[in-house]
A and B are shown apart, each in its own frame.
Chain A
Amino acid sequence: RKEVEQDPGPFNVPEGATVAFNCTYSNSASQSFFWYRQDCRKEPKLLMSVYSSGNEDGRFTAQLNRASQYISLLIRDSKLSDSATYLCVVTFNTGRRALTFGSGTRLQVQP
């Protein structure tokens, strides 16, 4: 079983739609959680950290459920520029501070 699992998509949605991505992680000792965004042929860029209480940044809302080992990202009012691959990223509480990436979920927002 992969340490971080995501639905690869693609999710094809019209502009203005609300779309949600889910991610599960296998290690209950996971420490930190992030969503990164990767555009085609570009490096991953930090979209937002994910906190236990949930957090919001404009049109983006992230949720963490430690009991279910589940992370989500909600995008409201989708824009064409939101088209990208969204990577669920976790650090594990093993003293190793490197990131473990999910395989990514591809989003295509259509006009």
Chain B
Amino acid sequence: SAVISQKPSRDICQRGTSLTIQCQVDSQVTMMFWYRQQPGQSLTLIATANQGSEATYESGFVIDKFPISRPNLTFSTLTVSNMSPEDSSIYLCSVEVDSGTQYFGPGTRLLVL
């Protein structure tokens, strides 16, 4: 498995502002992902964070709204830009350790007022 940390663990933000979430893993991993879990719902993939190249976004998610950085094999950031109350959610990063097996960070709980 892997030990994954996320910062911040929670935040309350004003609409129109941006928040950057950090994800740190204790070992080098090739695949890192960002997911969103809206209240009462299951997880939805936002994007795959690719090291050394642009992230791969899922349908319905765009780089201008959710810019992602992946400067090395242990770290990634997700920014939620120009936030609105609809962005209130839990944001989780995950890493693939063994083929197909993913482990999740503790999540960042975001409330946008």
Q: Tell me the smallest distance from the CB of A106 to a CB of chain B, in Å.
A: 11
Cβ contact within 8 Å between A91 and B42: no
Question: Count of A residues near B, CB < 8 Å?
Answer: 20
Is A28's CB within 8 Å of the partner chain B? Answer: no
Cβ contact within 8 Å between B48 and A43: no
- Using known A-B contacts A97-B31, A99-B45, A103-B42, determine if residue A43 contacts B107 with beta carbons closer than 8 Å: yes
Q: Give A84-108 as 1s and 0s: 1 = Cβ < 8 Å from B's Cβ atoms.
A: 0001000100001111111110000
Q: Tell me the smallest distance from the CB of B85 to a CB of chain A, in Å.
A: 20
- Using known A-B contacts A43-B92, A43-B106, A97-B31, determine if residue A32 contacts B42 with beta carbons closer than 8 Å: no
Residues of B within 8 Å of A97, CB to CB, are 31, 48, 96, 100
Q: How far is the CA of A102 from the CA of B102 in the complex (A)?
A: 15
Cβ contact within 8 Å between A44 and B104: yes
Q: How far is the CA of A34 from the CA of B104 in the complex (A)?
A: 14
Is A46's CB within 8 Å of the partner chain B? Answer: yes
- Using known A-B contacts A98-B33, A102-B42, A103-B41, determine if residue A46 contacts B48 with beta carbons closer than 8 Å: no
Is A12's CB within 8 Å of the partner chain B? Answer: no
Which residue numbers of A lie inside 8 Å of B, CB to CB?
Answer: 31-32, 34, 42-46, 49, 87, 91, 96-104
22 A-B pairs with C-beta separation under 8 A: A31-B100, A32-B100, A34-B100, A34-B101, A43-B92, A43-B104, A44-B43, A44-B92, A44-B104, A46-B103, A87-B43, A91-B100, A97-B48, A97-B96, A98-B33, A98-B48, A98-B58, A99-B45, A99-B102, A100-B45, A101-B44, A103-B41
